[in-house]
Amino acid sequence: MIRRLVAYRTGEPTQVLSVAELPDDPPPGPGEVQLAVRAVGLNFLDVSLCRGEYPVRPDPPMTPGVEAAGRVVAAGAGAEQLLGQEVVACPALPRGALGSTVTVDAAVVVPRPSTIDPTIAAALPVTYQTAWFALARARLTAGETVLVHAGAGGVGIAVTQLAVARGARVIATAGGPAKTAVCRDQGAELAVDYTSEDFVAAVRDATDGGGVDVVVDPVGGDVLARSLDCLAFEGRLVTVGAAGGAPPPVDPGRLIAANADLVGLSWGSRYPWRRPEQVRAAYQALFDLCGSGAVRPPVSRVVSLPQAPAALDELAGRRTIGKIIVRLDEKE
Ligand SMILES: NC(=O)c1ccc[n+]([C@@H]2O[C@H](COP(=O)([O-])OP(=O)(O)OC[C@H]3O[C@@H](n4cnc5c(N)ncnc54)[C@H](OP(=O)(O)O)[C@@H]3O)[C@@H](O)[C@H]2O)c1
């Protein structure tokens, strides 16, 4: 028997997710591997999935969990070389990783260096890859200034660490003084509490009126619309999420006036399949940056499988900092 978090309907995570005891999964098919899951990183998109608000809406029963570290315990035809390996992977929905085993496409599996603990490795696949590709799509170069919203969250911290590692200046926004302190600890030169301060004015002040070269926005809503007022000449705004709700329509005239780029990024649903070589190269770079200490996955808490729905409710309620990791190979 295996244990797995399953949702049969949509709603808030604690309302719809429960631990199910299920028969063992069937053997993996050709080109697939089955992992004994060790650790899973929780993401805001798990909340969106439970609510039925994520652009991908898998039919129930649905198991969330899109970033995992585990050991390959079974391999289908063509994937035998991975048998026994410790790996990281992004499972494809609706077969998420929040359970004792998960079956994934071997093409999205990457060996985990033994120097990186599974708890740390489980924070990398979606969070840091998204930050990595956001900065790539933004064409960030050393010496430029980046504004990142939700700067104490999973993606926000990853963007800050990677931007600092590339020699950029970072301005972060976050909700409340505890979170702005975290942003500064992570390397932000300036952290603005956007629940009590006008971040547009703060950015203007900090850049002598010139604005920032790049905005990475995981929040959406009005924050995205107002971020356009923060851009420098030929600035780039990468929208990666809408934790704060759908943004209002953007008038193209504002992009023309600012000579600005507005760029969308959906990493998990596209890049591992459309750009596998770039994704593997990014994993290697992220593993190396972990080794050098430039990347420090911000694991604030480790919880068990039954505790995961409550942890997702906290994520939805803006009460988390950094990453919460679910461990499955330890006594629950
Ligand atoms: N495009 C992609 O490929 C991709 C990949 C991963 C994640 N994402 C997106 O990136 C965003 C951040 O994801 P994450 O997992 O790293 O989450 P997170 O940043 O750890 O948590 C979400 C944060 O968003 C901020 N927020 C603002 N308004 C909110 C609201 N109304 N409700 C809840 N949170 C609100 C909160 O920070 P403050 O309190 O500081 O405002 C909250 O802590 C999500 O929208 C997610 O869907 C996109």
Q: What is the DSSP string of 17-52?
A: EEEEEEPPPPPP-TTEEEEEEEEEE--HHHHHHHHT
User: Tell me, what's the pLDDT at 332?
Assistant: 43
Domain 2-123+297-327 -> CATH class? alpha beta
Helices of type H across 166-292? 177-185, 199-206, 221-227, 252-258, 271-274, 276-292
For residue 158, which atom of ligand 1 is closest to its CA?
16
CA of 319 to the centre of ligand 1 (A): 11
Two domains, one topology: 2-123+297-327 and 126-267: no
Of the candidates 309, 314, 246, 328, which has an alpha carbon nearest to the alpha carbon of residue 50?
Answer: 309
Q: What's the CA gap between 151 and 153, in Å, rounded?
A: 6
CATH of domain 126-267: 3.40.50.720
- 133 residue type, one letter: F
Mean per-residue pLDDT for 234-242? Answer: 97
For residue 241, which atom of ligand 1 is closest to its CA?
45
User: Tell me, what's the pLDDT at 56?
Assistant: 83
252-264 pLDDT tens trace: 999 999 999 999 9
Q: What is the residue extent of each domain of the chain?
A: 2-123+297-327, 126-267
Residue pointed to by tokens 């410790």: 86
Mean per-residue pLDDT for 312-324? Answer: 98
The residue count of the chain comes to 332
183-192 pLDDT tens trace: 999 999 999 9
Mean per-residue pLDDT for 10-35? Answer: 97
3-state secondary structure string across 106-134: HHHEEECCCCCCHHHHCCHHHHHHHHHHH
Picking from 47-56, 97-106, 110-119, 257-266, which range would have the lowest pLDDT averaged per residue?
47-56
Residue pointed to by tokens 């000579």: 259
CB atoms within 10 A of CB 26: 9
Mean per-residue pLDDT for 230-245? Answer: 97
pLDDT of 180 higher than 60: yes
pLDDT of 331 higher than 70: no
Ligand 1 within 6 A of 235 CB? Answer: no
Mean per-residue pLDDT for 27-41? Answer: 98
pLDDT of 214 higher than 50: yes
